[in-house]
Each structure stands twice: as C-alpha cells, then as structure tokens.
Amino acid sequence: MRKIISAAAIAVAGFTLAGCGSDPAPANGTKAAAGGAEIGAAGTACPMPVSFRPAEKWQPKAVSPPERMSGAELLCEIDAKPAGGIGFVRVLRATGVTDPMAALKSFTSVGKYADFAYKDVKAGSIAAKEVTYNSVASEEKLPQVALAVPVGADTVLVTTSGLDAELFKDNLAAYELAKSTLHPTT
C-alpha cells in the first residue's frame, strides 16, 4: 500500500509541476496553444514595437518594406502552415494613432464587415481594445478578431481570421497566446 501511495503522490506532483510555467489558458474556452520563441526585439524574425510568443511551429516573417493593409502598416505575418494549419496572425501598426478604438474603427472601415463587438481587454498587462466581427464579403459570414494596443505615438494591431469558422477557431488559440504574452519591445 505504501508503494502505491508513493507512486500516486509522485505522479500528482509531476503533473502539478508540469503545469508551472505553461502558457495561460485562453479565457474564451479555446484550447491553449504552446508557445514558440519570443519575437519582436531586434534580431528576431519580426522586429516590431511589441514582443510576444507566437504559437509553436508557427512561422513568423517580417514584411519589409511594410505593406499597407486596411489603413495600417503590415509589419509581420505569423503563418500556421508549418504547424499544419491554414491562416495567419498578423501584426500591423497604425502610425500616429494613439487611441486604440480609433485604430480599430479605421482598420475595420476598409472592407465589408458587420456584427462588431468591442470590449476592453488586457494584452499581457497592457490595457487594450478588442473587436470581434464578421467579414460579409461572401455568402458565409467569416469571423475575425483584432486587438489594438497603444505603444508610444502609435497603435499596434494584432489580428486573425479564417477561411471559415472552423479555421478561425484553430487560429484563435495562436492569437490568444500572442495577446496574453504581449509586451512593449524594449
């Protein structure tokens, strides 16, 4: 009996310790994504004003020179393909815009979108704004989400979407990981 209890205690302790330092679970019920190496600082795949951990095996790539996308500069695309998925987490900068709500409204004003739901959130420890909405450019409503974080004289946007609702759910865990680990680049 003593050996059984000891083995059970060791197993419980092992599971408890394995949880330490793990990625935070998303609040929206999606499965948490394992994190890769942090990006954002100089010398990483995507130097930008914020840093965060992309999902494991997702491939970050700097967009250089930055392209314009919905009124903001596309700085980085993190591709799900190397992890077996389809989609991106994208990071953009709204230059000279310090109000996150204004940045979100400007970003979503380009395109055919509906069903906007704005809320206050935390990106890491930073107060931020988030919007969920649907693309209505086709017959099927395609869910999307964007986060706006003030950084200096600009606002950084982090976005994801999907080709359909199922792919959106798959990409949402990577987005939530980026959001929960985000901080200004130092």
Cα 24 from Cα 83, distance rounded (Å): 20
Q: Assign 131 to helix, strand or coil.
A: strand
CATH code: domain of residue 68 = 3.40.1000.10
CB 87 within 8 Å of CB 161: yes
Provide the pLDDT for residue 32.
Answer: 53
Provide the pLDDT for residue 33.
Answer: 66
32 domain residue, yes or no = yes
Which two three-digit tokens encode residue 5?
């209890």
* DSSP letter string, 140-170: S-EEEEEEEEEETTEEEEEEEE-SSHHHHHH
pLDDT tens for the chain, 186 residues long, are 433 333 333 333 332 333 333 333 344 444 556 778 999 999 999 999 999 999 999 999 999 999 999 889 999 999 999 999 999 999 999 999 999 999 999 999 988 999 999 999 999 999 999 999 999 988 888 999 999 999 999 999 999 998 888 999 999 999 999 999 999 997
64 domain residue, yes or no = yes
7 domain residue, yes or no = no
Q: Report residue 33 CA to chain centroid gap.
A: 10
Cα 181 from Cα 177, distance rounded (Å): 6
Which residues are CB-contacts of 95 (< 8 A; sequence separation ≥ 6)?
Answer: 72, 73, 153, 154
11 domain residue, yes or no = no
Provide the pLDDT for residue 140.
Answer: 85
50 domain residue, yes or no = yes
Cα 99 from Cα 101, distance rounded (Å): 6
Provide the pLDDT for residue 139.
Answer: 84
Number of domains observed in the structure of the chain:
1
Provide the pLDDT for residue 131.
Answer: 97
For residue 59, give its domain range: 26-184
- Neighbouring C-alpha atoms within 13 Å toward the C-beta of 56: 6
Which two three-digit tokens encode residue 182?
């985000």
Q: Which H/E stretch holds residue 18? A: helix 2-19
pTM: 0.81
